[in-house]
Amino acid sequence: MKLVGIFSREDESCYRWLVNRIVSWKNVKDVRSVTITNNYEKFREETSKCNFAILYHSKNRGRINVTDVTDSLYDNELEELNTVYGRKNVLVVIDDLDDSSDEVKNNILSNQQKIQRLAQDLFLFSSADKAALNTLGYQTVQNPQKALDEMRRIIEGDKKRTFHDIERSSSRDLLPSPRRRGRPNRLCVFIVIIVIVIITITLIITLRHPETLVPSTIPPTITTVTPQPKNTFINVTTGG
């Protein structure tokens, strides 16, 4: 069972909506809210009480400054969460955005690269997303429930792919597996060897006995034997 810690400089009331959803998921024992202050030792002590971490940030604080930017709020904390839990057990949530599209997500990841390096995934929620979650039969472009389902699968240990997995496998997916790739390679080498042997034998035979392979273009010489007339000797007996 997972004891999920939500670590943030925001008051718990800002992400109470997220706590209420996570605590209802299977394999989640409880959700612990940890307020980050300037007392770093207290923060480190709190990390030992959970086995999964969500780093939460709200744009209501002013801007999106999680890591790697001027006045970033969570550089050391995200490093510590990664050290304690490992990347696969750390998520980052940025809330109260005007736009939670993939374009905004990619822009954040390109400018704040620690998020992608130290956390398994980043999830964005806009104010409209949260309002839609409370509306029966909601229809939004980004579908916030889909993002929550992804979070649930990660926390429950049933996540299939993240942006890390997609990046690592983008080139490998185009190639056959090593087991399948090895057999055709050995077969190709064997065929090439056989062809080389055949060509070599053919060249040797051609050089030693060219007449056996190249038909002669000179017609055979026909010798005509003319029969010679036989000498007939007649004995003439003269009388007398």
Per-residue pLDDT reduced to its tens digit, 101-142: 999 999 999 999 999 999 999 999 999 988 888 775 555 556
Instruction: Tell me if 49 is assigned to some domain.
Output: yes
Instruction: Tell me if 157 is assigned to some domain.
Output: yes
The pLDDT assigned to 3 comes to 95
CATH code, domain carrying 108 = 3.40.50.2300
CA dihedral 147, 150, 154, 158 (to 10 degrees): 170
Instruction: Tell me if 33 is assigned to some domain.
Output: yes
Per-residue pLDDT reduced to its tens digit, 84-109: 999 999 999 999 999 999 999 999 99
Which segments in the chain show pLDDT lower than 50? Answer: 164, 166, 168-182, 232-234, 236-238, 240
Instruction: Tell me if 162 is assigned to some domain.
Output: yes
Q: What percent of the chain has pLDDT over 70?
A: 72
Cut 0.85: pTM above it: no
Closest CA relative to residue 106, chosen from 149, 15, 167? 167
Count of domains in the chain? 1
CA angle 72, 16, 26 (to 5 degrees): 105
Instruction: Tell me if 217 is assigned to some domain.
Output: no
For CA atoms 106, 112, 117, 121, the dihedral sign is negative
The pLDDT assigned to 81 comes to 97
Instruction: Tell me if 6 is assigned to some domain.
Output: yes
Instruction: Tell me if 119 is assigned to some domain.
Output: yes
The pLDDT assigned to 215 comes to 54
| φ and ψ of 42, to 5 deg | -65, -40
The pLDDT assigned to 105 comes to 96
CA–CA separation, 116 and 123 (whole Å): 11
Residue 23 DSSP class: T
CA–CA separation, 85 and 6 (whole Å): 13
The pLDDT assigned to 206 comes to 77
Centre a 10 Å sphere on the Cβ of residue 184 and count the other Cβ atoms it contains.
10
The pLDDT assigned to 174 comes to 44
Full residue range of the structural domain in which residue 95 is found: 2-173
CA–CA separation, 16 and 58 (whole Å): 13
Instruction: Tell me if 192 is assigned to some domain.
Output: no
